[in-house]
Amino acid sequence: MYLKQGPIMKKIIFSLALLTLLSCQEERPHGNQYELPELTPNNYLIGNLNDNRSSYRVSFYDINIDFDIEKKSIDGYVTIKAESLIDLNSLQVDLAENLSIKKVTHKGDELSFSREYDAVLVDFNSTIKKDSIFDFTVFYQGIPQSADNPPWAGGFTWSKDKDGRDWIAVSCEGEGARIWWPNKDHITAEGDSVRMAYTVPSNMVAVGNGKLRSIVNNGDKSTYEWFVSNPINNYNISVQIGNYVAVQDTFIKGDKIHDMNHYVMDYNKELASNYFNQSKEVIRFYEKYFGDYQWYEDGYKLIEVPYLGMEHQSAVTYGNGFSIYNGVRSKSWPMYGVMDPLIIHETGHEWFGNSVTATDPTHIWIHEGLQVYSEAIYFEDKFKSYEVGVHYLNTLKNRIVNEIPIVGRENENHWALHGDTYMKGAWVMHTLRSVIKNDKIWFEILKEFMTENAKGFANTNDFFKKVYNKTGEDYWYFAQQYFYSPNQPELEYYQTDEEFYYRWNNVNDNFTMPLDLLVNGRELRVLPTKEYKSFKITKHSQIEVMDWKFYVQPKEITSN
């Protein structure tokens, strides 16, 4: 998901208010750490892989939904095929509490169930033995949550197209797929495959993820059947309903030709057929640096939507206005006139987030920080210029606020989608590259991390294990400073006629990061500590902290 710009301030103000409330009650390890979101009972049920959830693994979701567009309501059933990991008599499945459950069935029998917030505890009449494959079906209906500010405050967007016709889309990263269909709503609970059957008025088209299998017309309504044959995050499963037409294209790789059938409003067909060509360059770039696109069986497509866009797997949604300079987001997030910011960002998530998924949403810098960082690498590659990549990162730097750590608490359904996850996350990666100071190893780290964890899960610890394997250096102190503390290291320094003095401030005690200085134009690597160190200089030497390579704050100490 792209970073929100306006509403983030609301969250900061909220954090400030919480800090005022809570700062006296808890001792913080790093002084000015702000409070992370409060753990609500619902987030406890949803964020945690408790016994009723870890007891089974979902292998397949069969989603069937009939849309009543006038009433903005849905009526459907989802069959969940799963594997029991222990002998079980009951399990937890998740569905937003505002949606009503008509019944839950298993082998034709109705099962009893109880609900607590968004959790549904289903009781089976008999024990399902360990290692069994079983299924159950949840029949439900209701008016799903509308999106206040999609995709950041998600839900259904009930909109109209330019010709005044209905146009509907869903986005739910953070809110969870349970706001519109029942599932095991934990970030690690991906089905191996998913079937979606969306029934809509016959004059409209329903577009889902993956490939279109069939269209069945039943008079007033038509059912569009879509299929994803790969593991997919629940929040990536989507539906778009409108007067769509397909823009048929292909992506050629080696001797293989892959489907690239985009969906846009009928009046944008010609425009999109030219503009969406950019996505091929994006895919080639990501494959070069981060390994193969993982979803060729499901194709790749862009789908026009009435909100900014989202990284829905194999069905990336797009609402940036088809303009590199004047799109909704292009003005605030310019890309040197060479790329649509939405297309690169959301398509890049096919690698960061969709293929390699965080083990807990608190580690979501693996989706967003790496994504923004990869955009800097795109410019470095495109313009064959490290400096352009640095320039790009510099345009984002003033959005970093250093108020809460990038990684917060696990198991609390904390989607750490705040600004520092994006911007600081990117800067932390840039800094680590400068620390390692070996681009061959650095790019191997990135590519191997992505390919070894492809279609899998990883967290901050896994990333630094990879770094350790490749460099032989333990950079956990670096992770502790930059991911688990909100504090930006400061290099305090001053100079005399003969000597340059420097030390770290605002850092953890174990922070031992090397840093490069420019001493009269010559690079010098130093190893600051929290105690002053110094080296000899000539009178009036010019010394610069290379803060375009390291996320540190230079702080000159002047004598009074």
Q: Contact positions toward Zn ion, by CB under 5 A?
A: 1, 368
What contacts 294, CB < 8 A, 6 or more positions away? 230, 350, 351, 354, 355, 454, 455
Cβ proximity to Zn ion, 378 vs 475, nearer residue: 378
Nearer to Zn ion, 1 or 200 (CB): 1
Shortest separation between residue 310's beta carbon and Zn ion, angstroms? 8
**Contact, 58 vs 80, CB < 8 A?**
yes
Q: Angle of helix 439-452 relative to helix 460-471, nearest 10 degrees?
A: 140
| Beta carbons within 8 Å of 23's beta carbon, 6+ residues apart | 35
| CB 335 to Zn ion: min, Å | 15
Q: What burial class does residue 13 get, using C-beta atoms within 10 Å of its C-beta: 0-12 exposed, 13-18 middle, 19+ buried? A: exposed
For residues 515 and 488, is the Cβ–Cβ distance under 8 A? no
- Give the span between the Cα atoms of 60 and 295, in whole angstroms: 17
Quote the least distance from Cβ 34 to Zn ion, whole Å: 22
Nearest to Zn ion of 63, 358 (CB atom): 358
Alpha carbons 34 and 42: distance in angstroms, whole number:
22
- CA 350 – CA 356 distance, rounded (Å): 8
Q: Are 545 and 515 in contact (CB under 8 A)?
A: yes
Nearest distance in Å: CB 348, Zn ion? 8
**Angle, CA of 155, 157 and 161, to the nearest 5°:** 165
Q: Cβ closer to Zn ion: 1 or 432?
A: 1
Q: Which amino acid is at 160?
A: K
Closest-CA residue to 334 (of 396, 279, 274): 396
* CB closer to Zn ion, 190 vs 368: 368
Q: Taking the complex as a whole, how short is the minimal distance between the CB of residue 449 and Zn ion, in angstroms?
A: 18
Residue 486 corresponds to which tokens in the numbers above? 């909100």
Task: Pick the closer one to Zn ion by CB: 65 or 364.
Answer: 364
Quick one: 193 or 234, whose CB is closer to Zn ion? 234
Among 322, 291, 78, CA closest to 180: 78
Residue nearest to Zn ion (CB): 1
Compute the distance between CA of residue 230 and CA of residue 154 in angstroms, rounded to an integer.
24
Numbers of helices and strands, H then E, in the chain? 12, 30
Shortest separation between residue 371's beta carbon and Zn ion, angstroms:
5
Instruction: State the DSSP code for 209.
Output: S
State the alpha helices, DSSP H only, in 105-162. Answer: none
- Residue closer to Zn ion by CB (options 94, 368) is 368
Whose Cβ is closer to Zn ion: residue 282's or residue 545's? 282
Could you tell me the smallest distance in angstroms from the CB atom of residue 461 to Zn ion? 22
Residue closer to Zn ion by CB (options 235, 511) is 235
Strands (E), 144-272: 155-160, 166-171, 193-201, 205-207, 211-218, 221-228, 240-242, 244-247, 250-253, 256-259, 262-265
Minimum CB–partner distance for residue 498 and Zn ion (Å): 50
Shortest Cβ distance from residue 475 to Zn ion (Å)? 25
Q: Of 236, 234, 258, nearest to 314 (Cα)?
A: 236
CB of 2 to Zn ion, least distance (A): 5
Minimum CB–partner distance for residue 316 and Zn ion (Å): 11
d(CA 83, CA 192): 12
Closer CB to Zn ion, residue 119 or residue 315? 315
* Structure token digits, residue 450: 């992505």
Compute the least distance from the CB of residue 118 to Zn ion, in Å: 24
Q: How far apart are the C-alpha atoms of 175 and 237, rounded to whole Å? A: 13
Distance of alpha carbon 138 from alpha carbon 433, whole angstroms: 49
Least gap, CB of 353 to Zn ion (angstroms): 7
How do 205-207 and 240-242 pair as beta strands?
A: antiparallel
Strand order in the sheet with 499-505: 533-536, 499-505, 490-495, 553-556
Judged by CB, which is closer to Zn ion: 166, or 346?
A: 346
Strands 533-536 and 499-505: antiparallel
Nearer to Zn ion by C-beta: 1 or 177?
1
